[in-house]
Structure 1
Amino acid sequence: MSQSMQVESLNARKTYERIASIYDLLDAPYEIGWKRALRRRMFEGLQGAILDAGCGTGCNFLAYPDGVKASGCDASAAMLERARARADKLGMIVELRCSDLTRLDWADNTFDGIVATFVFACIEDHEQAAALSELRRVCNPDGEIRIVDYRLSPRPLVRARQKLMSAWLNGTFAATYTPTTENYFEAAGLEVIEEKYIRSDVLKMIRLRPRKAN
Structure 2
Amino acid sequence: MAKLRTGRQKYYNIFAHFYDLFIKMHSHNYGEETRKFLVDSAQLEKKRHPRVLDICSGTGSVVLAFSRSLPDSTAVGYDFALGMLYKAKEKDLAGKTQFINGDAARLPFADDCFDVVCCSHALYELKNQVRTEALLEMRRVVKPDGRVLIMEHEVPKKRLIKMLFYVRMLSMGPADSREFVKQGTAPFEKIFTHVSLSHTPSGKSKLISCRKQ
Match of 1:33? Answer: 29
Asked if residue 17 in structure 1 is aligned to residue 13 in structure 2, the reply is yes
Asked if residue 80 in structure 1 is aligned to residue 81 in structure 2, the reply is no
* 1:30-70 Cα deviation digits (max 9, x unpaired): 35521122201101122411111111101124421322211
Match of 1:164? Answer: 164
Native 8 Å contact 1:198 1:205 kept in 2: yes
Q: What fraction of aligned residue pairs are identical, expressed as a percent?
A: 23
The code of the aligned residue for 2:81 comes to S
> Do the aligned partners of residues 16 and 121 (structure 1) sit closer, same or farther apart at CA in structure 2, a change above 3 Å counting?
same
* 1:164-212 Cα deviation digits (max 9, x unpaired): 24324543x4485543574432443x133421121555411011011x4
> Do the aligned partners of residues 14 and 161 (structure 1) sit closer, same or farther apart at CA in structure 2, a change above 3 Å counting?
same
The code of the aligned residue for 1:59 comes to S
Native 8 Å contact 1:53 1:73 kept in 2: yes
Distance 1:130 1:104 in 2: 10
Distance 1:152 1:31 in 2: 14
> Do the aligned partners of residues 177 and 40 (structure 1) sit closer, same or farther apart at CA in structure 2, a change above 3 Å counting?
farther
The runs of 5 or more residues in structure 2 that have no matched partner are none
Asked if residue 57 in structure 1 is aligned to residue 62 in structure 2, the reply is no
Distance 1:150 1:37 in 2: 14
SS of the residue aligned with 2:29? helix
Paired residue total: 200
The code of the aligned residue for 2:155 comes to L
Native 8 Å contact 1:128 1:184 kept in 2: no
Match of 1:42? Answer: 38
Distance 2:200 2:82 in 1: 30
The runs of 5 or more residues in structure 1 that have no matched partner are none
Native 8 Å contact 1:150 1:178 kept in 2: no
Question: Paired residue for 2:147, among 138, 144, 147?
Answer: 144
Compute the RMSD of aligned alpha carbons: 2.5
SS of the residue aligned with 1:60? helix
Match of 2:180? Answer: 179
TM-score of the two chains, using structure 1 as the length reference: 0.81
The code of the aligned residue for 2:23 comes to D
The code of the aligned residue for 2:14 comes to R
TM-score of the two chains, using structure 2 as the length reference: 0.81
Native 8 Å contact 1:121 1:178 kept in 2: no
SS of the residue aligned with 1:84? helix
Match of 2:115? Answer: 112
Distance 1:9 1:178 in 2: 22
